[in-house]
Structure 1
Amino acid sequence: MDYDIFHLGDVRLQSGVTLPHAFIAYKTYGTLNAAKDNVIIFPTSFGDQHYQNEWLIGEDKALNPNQYFIIIPNMLGNGLSSSPSNTASPYDQSHFPHVTIYDNVAVQHRLITERFGIKKIALATGWSMGAIQAFHWAASYPDMVERLAPFAGTAKTWPHNIVLIEGIRAALQADVAWNNGQYTAPPEVGLRTLGRVYASWGFSQPFYREECYKALGYETLSEFISGFWEESFVPSDANDLLAMMWTWQHADISQNDRYKGDFETALRSIQARTVVMPVRTDLYFTPEDSEYETKHIPNATFKPIESIWGHLAGFGLNPVDTAFIDNTLKELLGRN
């Protein structure tokens, strides 16, 4: 096991349900300094676990473990932290309670304060749902987060993004083997269908037109859809994916007692020096939504990733996009 577990005890969720014996899985890179102010928090995204964030960590990268103490907390529902697949009855499988982004960030806050005594975060960053969590960190704990750099993600899930989630959820639940979440064997047809539906959203139209998938080792479009997209989801637990979809669909940094649904006030509360990096061709975390949000964050710069790799320009697949993200983070961290 290449990660640690922080036991949370019984956690009362935003829904009012208490999740018993909850825990969060996390991995750290580097060493916490004496001042405890060299901290970078880098949450995971939909369907991902900590190792899928490691492409942005390295001695030559902005997230340099020789300089920073980098914490990757695994999202609730991702199969490593408390999830439908690893929680005992009565909250196992499809009975797992609804978890919000607020809940995720609240337990992450417990992790870094209770286990490590951290009071300052040098940078909150993340991709996709990880970006949503980074936004939530900066809005929920504005005095704590010094810099914010979300990429390919927004501060809430906008309506067109919800349409995507409805489609991939329906694809998975249409498999008879899903059995209302009480399956005894994985609903593989549903998982593969989910991948095929997602294939039209994750990359842009010019990505497909220019056959950029060949750079990933696939000779034909058919091979790419089956080999990349289907196989991405087949190893996942279906109820874990559905739990994360619910979290994603209901994401909004203002849906809590602090902001009471006032989204623009939540954005204005962010004190961190901020760089927002949407992908110009992202089909569901759109640059238009990000530009609107950036205008309401006091000390924020809008810096789109000019890429045809769509949403997955933020996933470390294309070296040019990776360099853009890394260089932007280096610039942000280099400021005094």
Structure 2
Amino acid sequence: MCVMCVGPELLEQRPRSSSGLGRLLSISGMIRLLCALIASWGGAQGDTASFTLRDFRFASGDTLPLLRVHYRTLGNPRRDAAGVVRNAVLILHGTGGTGAQFLTPVFAGELFGPGQPLDTATHYLILPDNIGHGASSKPSDGLHARFPHYDYGDMVEAQYRLVTEGLRVDHLLLVMGTSMGCMHSWIWAERHAGFVEGVVPLACVPTQIAGRNRMLRRMILDDIRTDPDWRGGDYAAPPRGLRAALQILFVMSSSPLQLQRTAPTRDSADAYISRWVDARARATDANDMLYQFDASRDYDPRADLERITVPVLAINSADDVINPPELGLMERLIARVPRGRYVLIPTSEITRGHGTHTVAAAWKQYFAPFAAGLEAHASR
């Protein structure tokens, strides 16, 4: 899930001053800090393009004559003596996100710069917009509720075909993903183990979505579908149920500790949630959101966990409301993965609930040696 409240939380935790000069200095300092972080990895936006899959067949049996998969790449592929690409990394976003979300200082600034684990001078990074997201084909393009009801398997298939047919990459060093992309990573590990060296799922659990997680998702679906203004997907204006759905999303993706620090008074809390929902409502299409959350309906990789042959580094955070550690699910499931390791990041000043998946400073100490180990193995 793309947790958009992470950015405002980080930005609003700057020193406050009652004077106009103090505010200007604070903002100036923040801008200098962000510029320094961006400069550390070059601030590159990468090359963007779209790849078209013709007559794409979905698991439902529906087909789309032209399926557009938008993507962004950074760096260049490096082939070995046999012509096999050895440095490609596929990075997968969460529900409602896009590949561009990884170009932020808190992610790219920690991973993509010189000498960092995914240095773009030595790695070929592939950041797609998944089906139903960003500039890829989605319901809001015009089909509305007549758009094929894609699932996670369809999304992974489109990713695989983008990599192999669109980019002519025949091997991936790493697949890593956040939230929904985390779940896609598990599917990659099971379907394409011979194609990838290892996977890093961030902020998910390799099991059917059930319990409170499923209930919250069902509430999002119902908020949109039961609104008379939705009109079966052919609404003229955004249905009112969209705002209710976004409020559920906010609860799912928030961190109590950080929100208490960011909004310590009643008025600041009211203002914060109003700004957040208003901003998201302007940027979100109800049908797109409905499809995005419905896509998880049949996700359940449990049956084949023992068959995963590649190394897996699964990372969750203790303050993740969507994947609460007290359930003990990851501990039981990771034991079934032959080469799996699970890391639970303790709650701290830098964790952001579910959104910790994109705050690389919180987990880079585990990721860096894992990625280095994959590279060492791939270079043999």
TM-score, normalised by the number of residues in structure 1 = 0.86
Letter matched to residue 302 of structure 1:
Y
2:190 pairs with 122, 139, 155, which one?
139
Task: Report if aligned partners of 2:221, 2:294 keep a CA contact under 8 Å in 1.
Answer: no
* Post-superposition offset of 1:167: 1.2
Question: Residue 166 of structure 2 corresponds to which residue in structure 1?
Answer: 115
Give the superposed CA RMSD: 2.2
Q: 1:233 to 1:278 in 2, by over 3 A?
A: farther
Q: Verify: 1:249 aligned to 2:297, yes or no.
A: yes
* Post-superposition offset of 1:212: 3.1
Question: Residue 260 of structure 1 corresponds to which residue in structure 2?
Answer: none
* Post-superposition offset of 1:20: 1.7
How is 1:30-179 mapped onto 2 (pairs within 5 angstroms)? 30-35=75-80, 36-55=85-104, 56-57=107-108, 58-60=112-114, 61-87=116-142, 92-160=143-211, 161-179=213-231
Question: Residue 305 of structure 1 corresponds to which residue in structure 2?
Answer: 345
* Post-superposition offset of 1:126: 1.0
Q: 1:233 to 1:142 in 2, by over 3 A?
A: farther
* Post-superposition offset of 1:131: 0.4
CA distance in 1, matches of 2:215, 2:358: 22
Task: Report if aligned partners of 2:199, 2:310 keep a CA contact under 8 Å in 1.
Answer: yes
CA distance in 1, matches of 2:66, 2:346: 44
Letter matched to residue 313 of structure 2:
V
Letter matched to residue 102 of structure 1:
G
Q: 1:232 to 1:292 in 2, by over 3 A?
A: farther
In structure 1, stretches of 5+ residues that fail to align are 254-262, 317-321
Question: Residue 21 of structure 1 corresponds to which residue in structure 2?
Answer: 66
Letter matched to residue 76 of structure 1:
I
Task: Report if aligned partners of 1:10, 1:18 keep a CA contact under 8 Å in 2.
Answer: yes
* Post-superposition offset of 1:203: 2.1
Q: 1:110 to 1:171 in 2, by over 3 A?
A: same
Letter matched to residue 57 of structure 2:
R
Task: Report if aligned partners of 2:151, 2:297 keep a CA contact under 8 Å in 1.
Answer: no
CA distance in 2, matches of 1:79, 1:192: 20
Task: Report if aligned partners of 1:79, 1:240 keep a CA contact under 8 Å in 2.
Answer: no
Q: Verify: 1:315 aligned to 2:375, yes or no.
A: no
* Post-superposition offset of 1:233: 4.0
* Post-superposition offset of 1:64: 1.9
* Post-superposition offset of 1:312: 1.7
Q: 1:289 to 1:105 in 2, by over 3 A?
A: same
* Post-superposition offset of 1:229: 4.1
State percent identity of aligned pairs: 25
2:362 pairs with 321, 324, 336, which one?
324
Task: Report if aligned partners of 1:42, 1:72 keep a CA contact under 8 Å in 2.
Answer: yes
Task: Report if aligned partners of 2:176, 2:199 keep a CA contact under 8 Å in 1.
Answer: yes
Partner deviation per Cα, 1:227-250 (whole Å, 9 max, x = no partner)? 224423431111111111111233
Task: Report if aligned partners of 1:79, 1:85 keep a CA contact under 8 Å in 2.
Answer: no
* Post-superposition offset of 1:120: 1.7
Structure having the higher Rg: 2
* Post-superposition offset of 1:283: 1.8
Partner deviation per Cα, 1:78-105 (whole Å, 9 max, x = no partner)? 1421211125xxxx10111111111111
In structure 2, stretches of 5+ residues that fail to align are 1-44
Q: Verify: 1:285 aligned to 2:323, yes or no.
A: yes
Letter matched to residue 330 of structure 2:
S
1:6 pairs with 51, 61, 68, which one?
51
CA distance in 2, matches of 1:145, 1:285: 26
Q: 1:197 to 1:170 in 2, by over 3 A?
A: same
CA distance in 1, matches of 2:140, 2:250: 25
TM-score, normalised by the number of residues in structure 2 = 0.76
* Matched residue SS, 1:77: coil
Task: Report if aligned partners of 2:87, 2:172 keep a CA contact under 8 Å in 1.
Answer: yes
